[in-house]
Structure 1
Amino acid sequence: MTYRPSRSRPPGGAAPTGPATLRRANLSLVLRELREHTSLSRAEIAQATGLHRATVSNLMAELLERRLVREVGVEHVGAIGRPRRAVALHGAHVGALGMEINVDYIAVHGTDLSGRSLVERRVVHDAMGSGPDSAVRRLGLVAKEAVEAMRRAGAVPTGIAVAVPGLVDVTRGVVTLAPNLHWRDLPLAEQLSSILGPRSVPVWVDNDANLAALAEYTSGVAAGTPHLVYLTGEVGVGGGIISGGELLRGADGFSGEVGHLRVDPNGDRCGCGRIGCWETKVGLAALVRAAMPEQAYGLPGMPVPDPGERVADIAQGLASGDRRMMTAVAQVGEWLGLGGSILANLFNPRVIVIGGYFASLAQWLLPHAQDQLQRLVVAAPAAQCRFVASTLGFGAASRGAASMVVNHIIDDPTTILDSLRRPAPY
């Protein structure tokens, strides 16, 4: 399933036109068609895109030169007639690096244009406690290591996208507000580019839940579902909303801050400064505080472990019948269902995909959550909304970030030769 991002016009007028712009658009059209299929002949591409066969042949010559497609064999159609040379998406030399920085870790997913996974890792890091300057420096170090690993695998990175749990001005690459990181108005794209050096590749920044929703829509457990909501299961809780096959961003690009729905006026204070936000009921910090209070986030002298280790400890306790942990998870499940019902009533999704720690503990959480969802959705049972657990784990946002880079490449294939001819930036 290929995500087709909505295209925005430049400020002040219509999209630019001209031969170069038209050629870029046609190259992108051909690549998107090939992305949907294992291989196609030039005639099949012409038929699918509506382009003239001579135009397709001309475009194909350029894509072959850029090594974005490759010829994969000869197809014979009928008993007689000329054989057709089939082509397929290639781009094994073109890299895309996706990253996520969250409260307690940095995740990396590097891929190439053909979808080959080149690097995948998660690094424990106290981004909340270290402050923005230290966190960005560590992010830059991890990025350099990932870029070098991709180069050793034969792919030159052509872009880096970073997922952040907060409000992001995507156009400028500025983190407007990330409450759980204590970041405000941080020019992350500019700072990371400065760390990587003057010849570094383009850097983009986006909200973690938006990018995770993109990953789920393109390659996750509910791939291709045109109406879905993705929920992060981190210390904070965010939402990415796919409506009609498009990512719903809102007027200013700040939609999806579902973790800050006020569900309990008498509840705890949230990292955003407000009282009773949904993430204070269902975030990983809330669960750890209830299930393992001696290991709660923010305790003096308590090291920051990998979130997966915390969740594994809770899962082990649940499997052994630990009463305190079972009570804590049941409460989180009920609050998860309550908040999910609000989203179902607002957006009428077919599925609510739960990621992060939610997915790891799905067998214990979902019975409680689904019961609440069915009880509180106004249109039930006609709405047929259900929770499903992601299979992408804590790496969903970094995978979506890599997909974002691939989409930029597909949008403008003419940048490929220029970027690959540049000297190594690191």
Structure 2
Amino acid sequence: MTTLIPTAAPRPASLDAVLAYAWDAADFTATDAMEATGLTRTTAIDAMDALVELGLLRELPNAREAGSYRKGRPARRFELRDDAAVLVGVDAGHVHVTVVVTDLRSRPLATQRRTLELDRDDGATRRALILAAIDDALGTAHKDRADVLAVCIGVPAPVNSLGRSPRHPTGFWARMNPDLIDALAWAPLVRVDNDASLAAVAEGTIGAAAGCRDYIALLAGARLGAGVVVDGNVLRGAHGGVGEMVAFDHVEGVGSADGLGTRAAAWALAAVAGGELSPGGALAAVPPTELDGRAVLELAAHGDADARAVVERVGGVLARIVSVLGSMFDPERVVVSGAISAGVDEVVAAARRSLPTDLDLPAPELVISRLGADVVVTGAIAAASVMARDRALDFRTAAARG
């Protein structure tokens, strides 16, 4: 078990420089650290020894002890103690909760998935289930709360800079974020954020927007949500409301914040009820109870004419959404993210064909995420890693000497 204890400040900048280098390096010597950081040999060695004392680096056997020493004085070698603490990322969705526990290098140690009972969807029950899922994931990784350095959790609600959500007319946002910032106060570093914003973090870190400074991650399965990145920064707003899509209720040709999957299912069911489908067609053969967005998208991908007609209509709506987002935020790229991305190729192709060519600003590039349903928890781990890198030196671990 790791015990994380706040350390005294201030500290030499050399510690931050060497730790930042060590976080991405394999084993290294003082010479390696000097070349990477520009520090003198004495300063680099002092920093490495201090980081060993803090439990964040470990000294490895030297070349003589490792059996590869030839002649001369063997160099001391070090590496990051990636087991000094763990990171926790959580996607606390409306229906599903996913928890991932990783080491300090973001390598997964355990994953826990839960499905929530919507008829018991009150804030207290949700909070307890989320905490239980975190504890179970930690247990699977043979860790507990005392081992955690940073937790990041994504929720389907706007979240302000303090980790709290504003009031919603139906109380939905309070149920999705039932004071989680307080419930997670046992962790040294905590971030509660909007799920689409964390999807944007994931896309910019290892996804379809890597290297891009102006982009939008569009979660578009059941409901629309957007993580907006401008000049390399995730936008939040006074109440965390940047990226909330309720404004589309008032946009002609869109009409609501319903996601792509929801629209595909609704329009397919309407076509069934209206007798508009081809007799004997694949779409007509799907029982109404099984006719969801994924089924429509799969049939379209296999060439069913009725499903393709629905998809073409959904693509037209996506084009309108992208056009509005483009005029509001001027992104270089819009990434369709989340579970829906696995089968949305036909919708995106239709949207590209429908994108207006007479916009005042160039239309954003429309691309599909390859991070799948775990995009939010991937972003949560990435955000937790940033917190850990920035503030690991604020804590002394149980691995520390003395």
Per the TM superposition, whether the score is higher than 0.5 is yes
Does the aligned pair in 2 maintain the 1:163–1:211 contact within 8 Å?
A: yes
Match of 2:387 in 1: 408
1:256 to 242, 264, 274: 242
Name the CA distance, whole Å, in 2 between partners of 1:178 and 1:36: 42
Aligned CA distance change for structure 1 residues 331 and 29 (closer, same or farther; 3 Å): farther
Moved more, 85-94 or 95-104: 85-94
Question: In the alignment, is residue 21 of structure 1 matched against residue 7 of structure 2?
Answer: no
Q: For residues 58 and 126 of structure 1, do their structure 2 counterparts lie closer, same or farther at Cα, with a shift above 3 Å needed?
A: same
Distance 1:310 1:42 in 2: 59
Report the CA distance between 1:415 and its aligned residue: 4.4
Partner SS, residue 20 of structure 1:
coil
Counterparts of 1:235 and 1:324, CA distance in 2: 21
Q: 1:392 aligns with which of 363, 371, 384?
A: 371
Structure 1 residues 228 and 200, CA gap change in structure 2 (3 angstroms): closer
* C-alpha deviation, 1:31, in angstroms: 2.8
Q: What's the secondary structure of 1:335's corresponding residue? A: helix
Corresponding residue of 1:176: 166
Q: CA RMSD in A?
A: 3.8
- Letter of the 1:62 partner, please give it: A
Instruction: Determine the structure 2 residue equivalent to 1:330.
Output: 312
Residue 286 of structure 1 pairs with residue 263 of structure 2: yes
Q: Does 1:122 align with 2:98?
A: no
Q: Any runs of at least 4 consecutive aligned residues in structure 1 with deviations exceeding 6 A, and if so which?
A: 72-75, 80-83, 178-181
| CA distance in structure 2 between the partners assigned to 1:107 and 1:181 by the alignment | 23
After TM superposition, the structure 1 = structure 2 runs for residues 320-399 of structure 1, keeping only pairs within 5 Å, are 320-373=302-355, 375=357, 377-380=359-362, 385-399=364-378
Identity of aligned residues (%): 24
8 Å CA contact 1:69–1:90 kept in 2: the answer is: yes
Residue 109 to residue 137, structure 1, CA distance change in 2 (3 Å): same
Higher-RCO chain (CA-CA 8 Å, sequence separation at least 6): 2
Unaligned runs of 5+ in 2: 1-7, 64-70, 273-290
Contact 1:103-1:235 within 8 A present in 2 as well: no
Q: For residue 142 of structure 2, give the secondary structure of its aligned residue in structure 1.
A: helix
Is 2:402 the partner of 1:417? no
Question: 1:419: how far off?
Answer: 7.0
Instruction: Give 1:133 shift.
Output: 2.2
Residue in structure 2 matching 1:109, options 91, 100, 105: 100
The AA in structure 2 aligned to 1:290 is: W
1:169 positional shift: 2.4
| Residue 349 of structure 1, CA deviation | 2.7
Task: Please list every run of 5 or more consecutive structure 1 residues that lacks an aligned counterpart in the other structure.
Answer: 1-18, 269-275, 296-308, 422-426
Letter in 1 for 2:368: A
What's the counterpart of residue 66 of structure 2?
A: none
What amino acid is the match of 1:259? M
Letter in 2 for 1:367: A
Conserved 8 A contact 2:340-2:372: no
CA distance in 2, matches of 1:122, 1:221: 25
**1:102 is matched by which residue type in structure 2?**
G
Larger Rg: 2
Distance in 1 between residues matched to 2:104 and 2:137, nearest whole Å:
16
Query: How far apart are the structure 1 equivalents of 2:169 and 2:92?
Result: 13
Residue 212 of structure 2: aligned partner: 225
Q: CA deviation at 1:159?
A: 2.9
* 1:245 paired residue number: 232
Helix, strand or coil at the partner of 1:412: helix
Contact 1:166 1:178 in 2 (8 A): no
Map Cα deviations across residues 357-378 of structure 1 (whole Å, 9 max, x no partner). 4411232111112223353543
Counterpart mapping for 1:72-151 below 5 A: 85=76, 87-127=78-118, 130-151=121-142
Q: Who is 1:68 aligned against?
A: 56
Q: Which amino acid aligns with 2:299?
A: G
Shift of 1:412: 1.8
TM-aligned CA deviation for residue 202 of structure 1: 4.8
Q: Once the 2 structures are TM-superposed, how far is the Cα of residue 168 of structure 1 from its aligned partner?
A: 0.9
d(CA) in 2 for partners of 1:266, 1:386:
22
How far is 1:83 from its partner? 6.7
Task: Return the alpha-carbon distance in structure 2 between the equivalents of residues 184 and 42 of structure 1.
Answer: 51
Q: What TM-score do you get using the length of structure 1 for normalisation?
A: 0.73
